[in-house]
Amino acid sequence: MGDTWITDMRHVLDVLEPEVDVPGPARRLAEYFGRIVEAATSKPPMQRVDTEIGCRRRPRRRPCIGHIRLVWDDEEGEITWECTSCGDRGVIRGFEGSPWDRSVDVPPGGGLDIYEPIPFEPVDTHGRGNFSRSGGPVEVVLDRAEYSVVRSVCQDQEIPSLILDNAEPRQDGFRMIATARNTEAFHDYLFDTAISDENPSHVQLLGQTVKKMRIALDAYLDDIF
């Protein structure tokens, strides 16, 4: 059985300041709750949402296989979340107007993908960058066919295009390195694109890429939690 977390995001704003000395475990936990807030407030309120955020727990020292399910109650000003597998759960408050709050970007009556408001965060091919809030680095290697198709569907998208531009050519394809936030945003965009694409070969290659990104993101979370 998991824990029950009561979290006020106003108490963890220090994690956004690189110069503030916040213990690693506390910083990572706050970043985890921040991802839940972003996922919740990027969708209309009062809807149960199954996110792709993997559970942070390791019951019996093994990564939990569950993901986070949540509901954002805008009238009460709280987000209720739970793991679909181990029972870890909690309530998050005090997030309105915080850097994690995406509700100002949600048009009336409709959702907005979490991809939209996130800025590009530079990371070089050695994995150097500012990860105080953004997490990472996350590495994904695409073969040449995957890279070509992904490039063709991302021409008008800032974050994917810049990540692809900075990819390191290799004999077996291309090595992409990005922050966890940008990789998650890239993943979400490709996931939506794959669903709407009518070209079977595109769908297959996009699906392979999405799966690689998900594995890399889950591995990153397993390492830090």
CB 181 within 8 A of CB 138: no
Sorted by where each begins, the domain ranges of the chain are 4-105, 138-224
Which two tokens mark 56? 């942070």
Tens digit of pLDDT at every position of the chain (225 positions): 557 889 998 888 877 776 677 777 888 888 889 999 999 998 888 988 888 888 888 878 888 888 999 999 988 899 999 999 888 899 999 898 888 888 865 444 443 333 334 567 777 656 565 554 567 688 999 999 999 999 999 888 888 888 998 899 988 899 999 888 888 888 888 988 888 888 888 899 999 999 999 898 888 777 655
Q: What is the pLDDT of residue 207?
A: 92
Whole-number Å distance between alpha carbons of 95 and 102:
10
Whole-number Å distance between alpha carbons of 37 and 34:
5
Query: In 3D, which of 162, 73, 154 has the Cα closest to residue 124?
Result: 162
Query: In 3D, which of 39, 29, 41 has the Cα closest to residue 5?
Result: 29
Strand 4-8, strand 89-93: pairing: parallel
**48, 193, 222, 223 from 196: Cα distances, Å:** 23, 5, 31, 33
Which two tokens mark 189? 């965009």
